[in-house]
Amino acid sequence: MLTIRLTRKGKKNQPFFRVVLVDKRKSSKGGKSIEDLGYVDPLSKRKSFNTERIQYWLSKGAKPSETIHNWLVTEKIIDAKKLHVSKLSKKKQAEIDKAKADEVASTKAKAEAEAQAKKDAEEAKKAEAEAKKVAAEAPVEEAKPAEDPAEEPKAE
């Protein structure tokens, strides 16, 4: 599989990168590239890309590295979103994963609480409607004062 990536050139503390097309299985440090597609000079902030050839190789199925992909998006050679490139430490990645898991759990708990509240409200409405129905069907009896058998008339 072909890939478009950077190879480092230049002296010590004077980096210079070439944008090359290589077979993915070959090392980026050694090995012959198929074609040079441009260069990047990070010290002077200059970049040059052979747009026609990059688009040709992308149409043939070559995959750009993440860094090259982001530069091609910046230069508007390809239409896509930028990719996250930086590597995170295991500790930082664990914190991010935990935060995401907590967020998912809280949204799930909130959704369950809302569903339970909705269910309780529906049950209350049903019970109220049934109570009204039963009250409407039951005959209305007048309330008579209850005679207390404990009270007996006093003999005088």
Quote the pTM value: 0.55
Band (pLDDT 50/70/90 cuts) for residue 149 is low
pLDDT of residue 31 exceeding 90 = no
Q: Quick one: which of 60, 61, 78 has its CA closest to 69?
A: 78
Average pLDDT rounded to a whole number, residues 28-44: 85
CA torsion angle 74 77 80 82 (round to 10): -30
pLDDT for 25:
83
